[in-house]
Amino acid sequence: MNKKKILLVDDEKDLLMVVGLTIESWGYEVMKASSGKEALQVLKDKNPDLVILDYLMPEMDGIATLQEIRKFNTKIPVIMFTAHPEGIPLKGTDNLGISAFVPKASAEVILRTSIRMVEQRLYGESGS
């Protein structure tokens, strides 16, 4: 069985490493990008199944990155990382097809649940 590929995008190197290792331990292949521009290139080159995207990044934030993603891929599921503790959807994002908003403070449990929900919707699978 092929591992599902997840693109993890965050400008915080430590968080990128820790969250990436956690997701890999769940049985996924993780590709990492530390900027919106890098994420767009990885998306085009590697064709991941899911994107986990940080909202606050310098130069190109998560919303601007997602707007660019949607210009060439309208279907890929995107989970948005946010510093907001309740993971409340952000203004102006309703038409961008975000699958979930995950607060960084409680990322592990909510992220795993969100990934499983996306897989269930797309593939009818229960996840790892």
CATH number, residue 69: 3.40.50.2300
Which stretches of the chain drop beneath a pLDDT of 70? 1, 83-95, 97, 101, 103-110, 125-128
Q: Quote the pLDDT of residue 106.
A: 61
Residue 64, domain member (yes or no): yes
Residue 9 corresponds to which tokens in the numbers above? Answer: 């995008």
Residue 92, domain member (yes or no): no
Q: Quote the pLDDT of residue 87.
A: 47
Q: Quote the pLDDT of residue 108.
A: 65
Residue 71, domain member (yes or no): yes
Domain that holds residue 35: 11-85+100-107
Residue 35, domain member (yes or no): yes
Residue 115, domain member (yes or no): no
Residue 2, domain member (yes or no): no
Residue 37 corresponds to which tokens in the numbers above? Answer: 């521009």
Task: For residue 52, give the H/E element and its range.
Answer: strand 50-54
Residue 26, domain member (yes or no): yes
Please tell me the total count of domains within the chain: 1
Q: Quote the pLDDT of residue 118.
A: 85
Q: Quote the pLDDT of residue 83.
A: 67
Q: Quote the pLDDT of residue 93.
A: 60
Q: Quote the pLDDT of residue 63.
A: 87
Residue 36, domain member (yes or no): yes
What is the edge-to-edge ordering of all strands in the sheet holding 5-9?
A: 29-33, 5-9, 50-54, 78-82, 98-103
Sign (positive or negative) of CA dihedral 27, 76, 39, 94 = negative
Q: Quote the pLDDT of residue 39.
A: 96
How many other CB atoms are found less than 10 A from the CB of residue 87?
Answer: 21
Q: Quote the pLDDT of residue 2.
A: 82
Least Cα distance to 16 among 29, 37, 32 occurs for 32
User: What residue type is assigned to position 44 of the chain?
Assistant: K
Q: Quote the pLDDT of residue 34.
A: 95
Check if the beta carbon of residue 55 is closer than 8 Å to that of residue 20: no
Please indicate, yes or no, whether the overall pTM of this predicted structure exceeds 0.85. no
